[in-house]
Amino acid sequence: MSIGRFLGGIAALIWNPTNESYLLLCRADSKDFGAGSWECVTGRVDQGES
């Protein structure tokens, strides 16, 4: 199946009340965009993907 035009994306900011901190992820230094930067948890789903 070819990838269509629909793309669903999500971002989550996760709070840990026990130690009052957020979960952040550091992008790999090898990434073309935003290398080494910190960000919240993200993901995406392409059309037809389950």
Residues 22-43 have pLDDT tens digits of 999 999 999 999 999 999 999 9
Residue 32 lies in a domain: yes
pTM over 0.85: no
Residue 38 lies in a domain: yes
Bridge partner list, 8: 45
Residue 2 lies in a domain: no
CB under 8 Å to 7, separation ≥6 — which residues?
44, 45, 46, 47
Give yes or no for a contact between 12 and 45, defined as CB atoms under 8 angstroms apart: no
> What totals of helices (H) and strands (E) does the chain contain, helices first?
0, 6
The domain tally of the chain equals: 1
Mean predicted lDDT score pLDDT of the chain: 89
Structural domain containing residue 13: 7-46
Q: What is the pLDDT of residue 24?
A: 97
Q: What is the pLDDT of residue 4?
A: 66
